[in-house]
Chain A
Amino acid sequence: MSIVQLNISLADDDEDDRLFFKEVIDDVKMDTALSLFNDGQELMRYLLKPDLILPNLIFLDLNMPIKNGMQCLREIRGNKKFKDVIIAIYSTSSSENDIEDTFVEGANIYINKPNSFKKLTEVVEKVLQINWQYQTSNLNKENFLFRI
């Protein structure tokens, strides 16, 4: 399987974090298309559009107004249409319970939001690399669990 372009979505209510993330993605040496959402409800409305080209990878903030990341995660994992979509939780919380709960609910990656541009670049590059390998190799997606 070859990926021509990697479709990425990010839902985060913090405008600075969204811009920061966009800058990092623009710098990465991979062909990507990024869609940004201000909260979980916006993301879910987008995902449920008919004929949408599904994202390969969704970055989800946990604490968002209207619809939080955990609710989005449950809705996405409850819908067979999204079974191949990789979900990365992108949160400031480093509570062991939050981390375990999101994995149990079907998240693939848990990222603690880094506080520097350099660190975020490293983290995003690592996530994209691992994701690439899972999309193009004989690796078992059922066991796609990483904490970064």
Chain B
Amino acid sequence: MNFFVKYDLNILGRVAIAQVLEELALDYRIKSLGEIEIVESLDIDSRTLLADKLAVFGIAIVDDEKTALVQRIKLTIDTLIKDKEGISVKLSVYLSNVLNYSYAYLSNLFSELTHTSIENYVILCKVDYVKELIGTSNLTLTEIAFRLHYSSVAHLSGQFKKTTGLTPSSFQKILKKRKERLE
């Protein structure tokens, strides 16, 4: 038999990290946004062991500070998009407050390291989340538009089409046919 599952990557990540750290008997605390604090300092061998065990789950330790900051920008955006409440301030203000850097600095750093702008990344993430909801939930497009704080369904459909080259309904049709093929 075949069946379909949906999962939350943030939860999976946390559980996997917790499992590895407990296995190595490290005293740790998972801070938000992919930052982990451990009480003891690690020698090179333990660090390599930790990195190897995390790699099994596709998790990598970020060594350089700039890459780590870009990763925190991405995680802040991911969390925000999936948050039903949303924020009352502009994203630029929010990022700057949460991460304690000027938006100009964050924005330049992001473009320098990821080949795209923060604004484009946000759109790509929102559309990815719309795709996920279309594929795995029973929400209508109107409900999805409301949930992701689009001003209207037309705005959502327009951004979806502009970004993916497909309309939400043709995307849905492709997903449906893919599932039928697997059955």
Contacts and interface: CB of A to CB of B under 8 A. Distances in A.
A100 B131 contact: no
B174 A104 contact: yes
Interface in B78-117: 78, 114-116
Nearest to A132: B115
Contact of A129 (B60, B116, B125, B173): B116
A9 B170 CA distance: 28
B164 A139 contact: no
Contacts of B67: 2
B116 A145 contact: no
A133 B124 contact: yes
- The secondary structure that dominates the A interface is mixed
Given A100-B177, A128-B115, A147 B124 contact: no
Contacts of B170: 100
A19 interface: no
B178 interface: yes
Interface residues of B, number: 31
Nearest to B165: A147
Contacts of A129: 115-116, 120
A146 B165 contact: yes
B135 A104 contact: no
B132 interface: yes
Contacts of B175: 143
A2 B74 CA distance: 14
B177 A139 contact: no
Nearest to B130: A143
A142 B116 CA distance: 22
Interface string A72-113: 000000000000000000000000000010011010001000
B159 to A, nearest CB: 13
Interface of A: 1-2, 29-30, 100, 103-104, 106, 110, 128-130, 132-133, 136-140, 142-143, 145-148
